Amino acid sequence: MSAGLALASVEPAFAHAGDAGFVLLLPTGYYLVGGALAVALSFAILAVVPPGPLARLAEWRRVLFAAPWEWRLVLSWLSFAGFAALLLAGWWGSRDPLSNPLPLVFWTILWGALTIVEGLVGDFWFWINPWYGPYRLLAALRGRSGAEDGERALPGGLAYWPAAVLFLGFAWFELVYPAPEDPARLATVLLVYYLANLAAALVFGYSAWVRQGECLSAFFRMISRLALFSGRRDEKAHKRTIDLALPGARLISADALPASGILFLLLALSSVSFDGLSRTFTWLGFVGINPLDFPGRSAVVGVNTAGLVGMAVALCGAFLLAVWLGHLLCGSAVSFRRTAGALAWSIIPISLAYHIAHNLTEILVNAQYALAAISDPFALGWDLFGTAGMHVHAGITAGYDSAWAIWNSQAAVIIAGHVLAVLVAHAIAWRLHGSARKAVLSQIPLALLMVFYTVFGLWLLASPTGA
Amino acid sequence: MTDKRKSSLILTTPLTRRTALKGLAGGLGAAAALGTAPGFVRYAQAASSEPIKIGFECHRTGIGAAYGRWYERTTNAAVKLINDAGGINGRPIQLIIEDDGTDAKRGTEVMEKFASEHKVDVVFGTLFSNVVIANGPTAGELKMPYYVVSEGHQVASGKMNRYVFQPGITDVKSQVMSVAPFIVGNLGKKVTQIFPDYAFGYDHRDNLPPAIEKAGGKVMAQIAIPPTEKSFTRYFPQIPADTDVIYHVMVGPAVLTFVKEMGEFYGSKGPQLFSFIDSLEAVDMATPGLEFLNGSHFWEGSPRYLQANAGEAQKFYRDHVGIDDNGAAKGDPKDVSTAGHMFGCWETLYVIKKAMEDAGYQGPDDKKKLIEATEAMTAFAEGKEHPQGDKTFNGKIHQCFGHQNISKFEDKKLTVVHRTSIEDGMYEPEGDYTTEKL
């Protein structure tokens, strides 16, 4: 031990001066002020514009086409086969997390990119959910009709609690656990997760479990309410009708969430916020870690677990306080529970904005690694898709010009997400209270919180990072 | 032969990320399956065609990932060349890569996994000192030959153990000492140091002043900057007015801010500047804001930019690693390499090869012979195996000594203006590992 301490005094370090350094040269302070003004101004404009036309816009739909239900079964089995192959690759492919397809596909393509597609385009996960096919088979073997069984909820007081608990575990694994990208460990974790959730779906019913139990399905389903395209059941035609709606429109008409649902949504936002915060000099300095000499995740498991939970508690507290103050201000007859449950949906655009901003650079580089890795999943020299030998252009996110472009994209996304959130929250409030005046009054504290969160989001991205 | 893909056996396609990385998976089956490929004909004549397993502990994720990417590319290039030329003792190298997340605790787990699960012959490649420091004792306990590419002083300090070597890159103490004569002789006698206030900075704080004084100069002031600092202007008034040279070794994301603010403080007529490329490794020197560094000097282990007088070995090395004349990835000019350090992977692999050949290494039973053969080495000649330059090796402290490059930053490029002698960086050995029992 003493030898180790003595040696610690002769330590070269290689904290990278690159990409994060360029951001420090940009006039990010103006963006923070500009972002805050943009969000505040959006709220001010909404306060004087009659909400009627906005609500009508939100109700606008256009039927596009109808997709047969059978597609879902086929796609799910294909997805399941891909998942199984990825697990095998996780155990028996390359040990390098940037050559093995499992961590790349799971973290970069599924969690990183699909979340964005779900939020912007629509609920692809509904079609490719790898639990559906095997569930149908097992349910049929048990003599149950496994057909899509409608909008079910979990029994008793369970509601979204399973999803919230699982999501906290998922976020911890992603952000705090020392080796989430280790292919073999990830494969084992995912297998256990898959089987446990398959069993739970058999107990509680598929529809209820993917809606409120399995956290990825639940999250994708919720965030896809923001998207352009949505699906709805057509019982007679045995099809799913795909509609076009304005972004965020379907958040306004969503049913109020129970307490567990609010927590679940806020957990998603707080975890990505903490992902950003935990890398900043500010946080590292706060927990006594030298940001230039980051010792590795193993050394910060305790403080980052506390930080992850603390961030969730703080965000829940801030959100509920803002809603409660608004509730007092407007003196509405609508219950606080229902108000909070309805307004929670307005968090989704912010959640997606944070997700995009924080994952953008990783997706740009690691998607290339993923493309190469899937051509040779078991490191056997295959070239299934002709991409195995491709050179990964890591320079795509490097240098001053890229830093400028990335920062501007991130800032635009963060600000747009918050402006949309203010808009959605306002329309929800109008629906709840039935009066433009009450809607505005009730939204003042929440709008202030959103202005703050805009600045916080931009500050996270503009701050020097060291982990 | 770490890859079954044809490109690793026949030189037809350019080296890629995966070429040299893949595990054999099927072991001998691979060789049998591809027995007709030209690369295997040679292996077939060896006593055993079982691969030599090299565990590559790579900073694939975490704070060291930018370095890890280039360490991986350089390592792949060298392994491929060695295998294409017949491997080691007629046996191909199988490179097994494990990510340590640039995390000391995971590093020791990886070391144990290499020993128990992958059963590698040697472990290689670790860069970050905190990981090396954690791994050293584990390597000793497991009796695992461990070749680090860290440039840290921890191996040469005598505080590791008999199984830990650093034969492919010089240590920071030697680097700091060897630049002092140039600074005093060419830039000025009165030196002020600015460094981050932790271990990395202390290497420079402690090792520079004696060397400057020996060269006839004096360190006027030492300014330690807290690591979490984001703005530096308030420190500049501490620089003595009669300073000739500012020796600055800031690292981390705030380096560019540091340079910009120093430029604003001094305008066009400040003292001479000297730094280590560690500050700007993998950063494009044509970046706006770095103009202030025009005319300043940097230490480089190996030159990032192709020099006009570069020899065949240097060109050969750069070509095979895949970097262009500016030291960036071929075809991806913004992906600037960690050229100042990554040559260490290449050279270390060739040292392992030579040591295994000297020891007649056949398998893990010969590990002691391998240690002794490595310790018995005394010098490496400049050439394709050692493109950075010739080196001496001190078997007692398991550390090599070599030439350092001092480059001037002009026209958005670094041009080597001085090459130190090996003697400039020599110091009295601080230990003797050969007295430890194997």
**What does the alpha-carbon distance between residue B252 and residue A421 come to, in Å, rounded to a whole number?**
36
Residue of B nearest to A365 (CA): B335
Q: Chain B partners of A295 at a C-beta cutoff of 8 Å? A: 103-104, 130
Predicted confidence (pLDDT) per residue in A59-85, tens digit: 999 999 999 988 999 999 999 999 999
Q: State whether the Cα torsion A212-A218-A223-A228 is positive or negative.
A: negative
Q: Chain B partners of A406 at a C-beta cutoff of 8 Å? A: none
Q: Quickly tell me which residue has 């959640």 as its tokens.
A: A351
Closest residue to B25, CB basis, from A22, A378, A399: A378
CA distance A172 to chain B (A): 16
Task: Answer whether A10 sits within 8 Å of B150, measured CB to CB.
Answer: no
DSSP element (H, E) containing A371: helix A348-375
Task: Answer whether B256 sits within 8 Å of A393, measured CB to CB.
Answer: no
Is the minimum CB–CB distance between B218 and chain A shorter than 8 Å? no
Task: Answer whether B335 sits within 8 Å of A393, measured CB to CB.
Answer: yes
Task: Answer whether A298 sits within 8 Å of B106, measured CB to CB.
Answer: yes
**pLDDT at A119 > cutoff 90:** yes
CA distance A451 to chain B (A): 25
Residue B397, pLDDT score: 98
Is the minimum CB–CB distance between B69 and chain A shorter than 8 Å? yes
Predicted confidence (pLDDT) per residue in B379-425, tens digit: 999 999 999 999 999 999 999 999 999 999 999 999 999 999 999 99
**What does the alpha-carbon distance between residue A115 and residue A222 come to, in Å, rounded to a whole number?**
11
CA distance B358 to chain A (A): 31
Q: State whether the Cα torsion A202-A205-A206-A211 is positive or negative.
A: negative
CA distance B139 to chain A (A): 14
**What does the alpha-carbon distance between residue A415 and residue A36 come to, in Å, rounded to a whole number?**
8
Instruction: Please give the order of strands across the beta sheet that includes B52-58.
Output: B93-99, B52-58, B122-124, B146-147, B164-165
Residue B42, pLDDT score: 45
Residue A18, pLDDT score: 56
Beta bridge partners of B98: B57
Is the minimum CB–CB distance between B254 and chain A shorter than 8 Å? yes
Task: Retrieve residue A310's tokens.
Answer: 């603390």
Q: If we measure between CA atoms, which residue out of B126, B127, B160, B339 comes closest to residue A12?
A: B127
**What does the alpha-carbon distance between residue A118 and residue A115 come to, in Å, rounded to a whole number?**
5
Task: Answer whether B22 sits within 8 Å of A294, measured CB to CB.
Answer: no
The contacts of residue A48 (CB under 8 Å, 6+ apart) are none
How far is CA A124 from its chain centroid? 15
Q: Chain A partners of B253 at a C-beta cutoff of 8 Å? A: 15-18, 20-21, 23-24, 464-466
B421 to B105, B217, B298: CA distances (angstroms): 38, 19, 16
Domain locations in chain A as residue ranges? 17-462
Closest residue to A395, CB basis, from B21, B288, B333: B333
**What does the alpha-carbon distance between residue A395 and residue B261 come to, in Å, rounded to a whole number?**
27
Question: Domains in chain B, start-ordered, CATH in brackets?
Answer: 6-170+340-402 (3.40.50.2300), 172-300+403-425 (3.40.50.2300)
B199 to A249, A286, B125, B131, B202: CA distances (angstroms): 55, 20, 21, 14, 5
Closest residue to A395, CB basis, from B106, B130, B334: B334
A110 CB-contact burial (10 Å; exposed 0-12 / middle 13-18 / buried 19+): middle
Beta bridge partners of B191: B219, B245
DSSP element (H, E) containing B41: helix B38-44
Residue of A nearest to B57 (CA): A96
The contacts of residue A400 (CB under 8 Å, 6+ apart) are A22, A25, B284, B287, B288, B289
Give B286-354 as a DSSP string: T-TT-GGGTT-EEEESS-SSPPTT--HHHHHHHHHHTB-TTSEETTEEEEE--HHHHHHHHHHHHHHHH
Task: Answer whether A379 sits within 8 Å of B23, measured CB to CB.
Answer: yes
Task: Answer whether B3 sits within 8 Å of A466, measured CB to CB.
Answer: no
A344 to A264, B232, B368: CA distances (angstroms): 10, 43, 66
Q: If we measure between CA atoms, which residue out of A456, A264, A227 comes closest to residue A344?
A: A264
**What does the alpha-carbon distance between residue A450 and residue A421 come to, in Å, rounded to a whole number?**
8
A337 to A243, A248, A375: CA distances (angstroms): 30, 22, 51
Mean local confidence (pLDDT), A11-20: 50
Q: Within 10 Å of residue B348's Cβ, how many Cβ atoms? A: 24
Predicted confidence (pLDDT) per residue in A418-433, tens digit: 999 999 999 999 999 9
Residue A357, pLDDT score: 96
B400 to B146, B168, B375: CA distances (angstroms): 15, 7, 11
Q: Which long-range contacts (CB under 8 A, 24 or more apart) does A436-443 make?
A: A436/A50, A436/A51, A437/A330, A438/A330, A438/A331, A438/A332, A439/A51, A439/A330, A440/A46, A440/A47, A441/A326, A441/A329, A441/A330, A442/A326, A442/A327, A442/A329, A442/A330, A442/A332, A442/A339, A443/A43, A443/A46, A443/A326
Q: Within 10 Å of residue A373's Cβ, how many Cβ atoms? A: 29
Q: If we measure between CA atoms, which residue out of B329, B227, B324, B342 comes closest to residue B281?
A: B342
Q: Which of A11-15, A102-106, A120-124, A152-156 has the lowest mean pLDDT?
A: A11-15
**B 228-247 residues with CB < 8 A to A:** 228, 230
Closest residue to B251, CB basis, from A3, A292, A379: A292
**B 295-314 residues with CB < 8 A to A:** none
Q: If we measure between CA atoms, which residue out of B244, B245, B247, B248 comes closest to residue B257?
A: B248
Task: Answer whether A18 sits within 8 Å of B134, measured CB to CB.
Answer: no
Residue A19, pLDDT score: 66
Task: Answer whether A402 sits within 8 Å of B334, measured CB to CB.
Answer: yes
Is the minimum CB–CB distance between B267 and chain A shorter than 8 Å? no
Residue A14, pLDDT score: 44
Q: If we measure between CA atoms, which residue out of B431, B383, B437 comes closest to residue B159?
A: B431
pLDDT band at A142 (very low <50, low <70, confident <90, very high): confident
Q: Chain A partners of B102 at a C-beta cutoff of 8 Å? A: 294, 296
Q: Quickly tell me which residue has 């930053």 as its tokens.
A: B409
Q: Buried (b) or exposed (e) across A7-38, using 16+ Cβ within 10 A? A: beebbbbbbbbbbbbbbbbbebeebbeebbeb
Task: Answer whether A292 sits within 8 Å of B7, measured CB to CB.
Answer: no
Is the minimum CB–CB distance between B419 and chain A shorter than 8 Å? no
Closest residue to B199, CB basis, from A8, A21, A182: A8
Is the minimum CB–CB distance between B261 and chain A shorter than 8 Å? no
**What does the alpha-carbon distance between residue B113 and residue B393 come to, in Å, rounded to a whole number?**
30
Query: 3-class SS at A343?
Result: helix
Q: If we measure between CA atoms, which residue out of A456, A132, A180, A150 comes closest to residue A311?
A: A456
Task: Answer whether B103 sits within 8 Å of A297, measured CB to CB.
Answer: yes
Is the minimum CB–CB distance between B73 and chain A shorter than 8 Å? no
Q: Within 10 Å of residue A93's Cβ, how many Cβ atoms? A: 26
The contacts of residue B377 (CB under 8 Å, 6+ apart) are B167, B351, B354, B355, B358, B393, B395
Q: Chain B partners of A460 at a C-beta cutoff of 8 Å? A: none
The ipTM is 0.89
Q: Chain A partners of B76 at a C-beta cutoff of 8 Å? A: none
Beta bridge partners of A311: none
Please, are residues B358 and B115 in contact by the beta-carbon 8 Å criterion?
no
Residue A149, pLDDT score: 57
Residue B393, pLDDT score: 98
Residue A152, pLDDT score: 80
Predicted confidence (pLDDT) per residue in A276-323, tens digit: 999 999 999 999 999 999 999 999 999 999 999 999 999 999 999 999
Q: Chain B partners of A179 at a C-beta cutoff of 8 Å? A: 99, 101, 106
**What does the alpha-carbon distance between residue A264 and residue A259 come to, in Å, rounded to a whole number?**
9
Predicted confidence (pLDDT) per residue in A363-407, tens digit: 999 999 999 999 999 999 999 999 998 989 999 988 889 999 999
* Helix pair A301-330, A336-343: axis angle to 10 deg: 120
Please, are residues B79 and B2 in contact by the beta-carbon 8 Å criterion?
yes
Residue A52, pLDDT score: 82
Q: Chain A partners of B196 at a C-beta cutoff of 8 Å? A: 13, 292
Q: Quickly tell me which residue has 């959730």 as its tokens.
A: A197
**What does the alpha-carbon distance between residue B352 and residue B75 come to, in Å, rounded to a whole number?**
13
**What does the alpha-carbon distance between residue B64 and residue B252 come to, in Å, rounded to a whole number?**
12
Q: Phi and psi (nearest 5°) for B416? A: -70, 125
Among B118, B128, B208, most A C-beta atoms within 10 A, so best to mutate, is B128
Please, are residues B414 and B395 in contact by the beta-carbon 8 Å criterion?
no
DSSP element (H, E) containing B75: helix B65-84
**pLDDT at A172 > cutoff 80:** yes
Among A98, A365, A369, most B C-beta atoms within 10 A, so best to mutate, is A98
Residue B30, pLDDT score: 37
Beta bridge partners of B11: none
Closest residue to A4, CB basis, from B133, B199, B284: B133
CA distance A33 to chain B (A): 20
B74 to A75, A192, B149: CA distances (angstroms): 41, 38, 12
**What does the alpha-carbon distance between residue A290 and residue B198 come to, in Å, rounded to a whole number?**
8
**What does the alpha-carbon distance between residue A165 and residue A185 come to, in Å, rounded to a whole number?**
21
Task: Answer whether A14 sits within 8 Å of B251, measured CB to CB.
Answer: yes
Task: Answer whether B332 sits within 8 Å of A15, measured CB to CB.
Answer: no
Predicted confidence (pLDDT) per residue in B15-51, tens digit: 444 444 433 333 333 333 333 333 343 444 455 679 9
Is the minimum CB–CB distance between B119 and chain A shorter than 8 Å? no
Positions in chain B whose pLDDT score sits under 50:
1-45
Is the minimum CB–CB distance between B67 and chain A shorter than 8 Å? yes
Q: Within 10 Å of residue B38's Cβ, how many Cβ atoms? A: 11
pLDDT band at A12 (very low <50, low <70, confident <90, very high): very low
Is the minimum CB–CB distance between B253 and chain A shorter than 8 Å? yes
| Share of residues in chain A with pLDDT > 70 (%) | 94
Among A96, A297, A385, most B C-beta atoms within 10 A, so best to mutate, is A96
pLDDT band at A4 (very low <50, low <70, confident <90, very high): very low
Task: Retrieve residue A320's tokens.
Answer: 């509920």
Task: Answer whether B66 sits within 8 Å of A467, measured CB to CB.
Answer: no
How far is CA A404 from its chain centroid? 24
